Structure 1
Amino acid sequence: MDFSHLSHQVLNGYELTDEEALNILDCPDEELLELLQGAYKIRRHYYGNLVKLNMIINTKSGLCPENCGYCAQSSISTAPIEKYRMMDKSSILKGAAQAHQLNAGTYCIVASGRGPSGKELDEVVSAVKEIKKSYNMKVCACLGLLKPVQAAKLKEAGVDRYNHNINTSQNHHESITTSHTYQDRVNTVELIKAAGISPCSGVIIGMKETKEDVVSMARSLRALDADSIPVNFLHAIDGTPLEGTDELNPRYCLKVLCLMRYINPSKEIRISGGREVNLRSLQPLGLYPANSIFVGDYLTTAGQESTADHQMLKDLGFEIDYVSEKTLCN
Structure 2
Amino acid sequence: MLDRDGDYWTIVPNRERHAYRIGDVPMGSREVTTVTIGKEDQHWSRALTLPSLVELTLHEPTHEQLAAIGELRSVKRLRVTHAKVKTIEFIRGLTAVEELVLEYVSGFTDLSPLQSLPRLRALHIENLRRVVDFSGLSGVENLRYLAINGTLDWKQPIDNFKFLRGLPMLEVLCLWQMITKQAYPALLPALSLKKLKKLKLHSSYLATAEYALLEEGLRGVEGAEWGPHHTVAYRYIALPPTDIRAHLPADVIRAKYPEVTVRFDGKREIEDPDSRWIEFTGKGERAVKLNSATAETRCREYVARYAALKQEARRLIDQRNGLDT
TM-score normalised to structure 2 length: 0.30
Report 1 or 2 for greater relative contact order, CA contacts < 8 Å, sequence distance ≥ 6. 1
TM-score normalised to structure 1 length: 0.29
Q: Which has the higher strand share?
A: 2
- Structure 1 or 2, whichever has the larger Rg, is 2
